[in-house]
Amino acid sequence: MLIALIARDKPGALEIRKANREAHLAYIEDTGVVAQAGPLIVDGEMAGSLVILDVDDLQAAERWAEQDPYAKAGLFGSVELIEWKKVIG
């Protein structure tokens, strides 16, 4: 099941993002369930994340999201998890 994680950073949290980026990228590598990922960009700055998870169910995506170093550091103001269907690409 593909799940889109759409997270928006809290205002003024760019330094939190930068300080936890290496741990976040290592978590992505270690867990092996990320199909695609990248930052959301607002006014030329990273302001959130889009992560496509390939997991068994929504609960697995929720667990993944809770353990993400970005989430643990309090980076996000909002997080949405929604089933996604790949059509192109």
Is position 89 within any domain? no
Identify the domain containing residue 48 by its residue range.
2-83
Q: Is 6 exposed, middle or buried (0-12, 13-18, 19+ CB in 10 A)?
A: middle
44: left (phi over 0), alpha (psi -120 to 50) or beta: left
Integer Cα distance of 18 and 68 in angstroms: 14
What are the tens digits of pLDDT across the range 23-45? 999 999 999 999 999 999 999 99
Spans in the chain with pLDDT lower than 70: none
- Which residue type, as a one-letter code, is found at position 64? W
Is position 88 within any domain? no
User: What is the pLDDT, as a whole number, of residue 89?
Assistant: 84
- Structural domain total, the chain: 1
The reported pTM is 0.93
- Output the CA torsion sign for 36, 20, 68, 26: positive
CATH of the domain at 46: 3.30.70.1060
Start-to-end Cα distance in the chain: 17
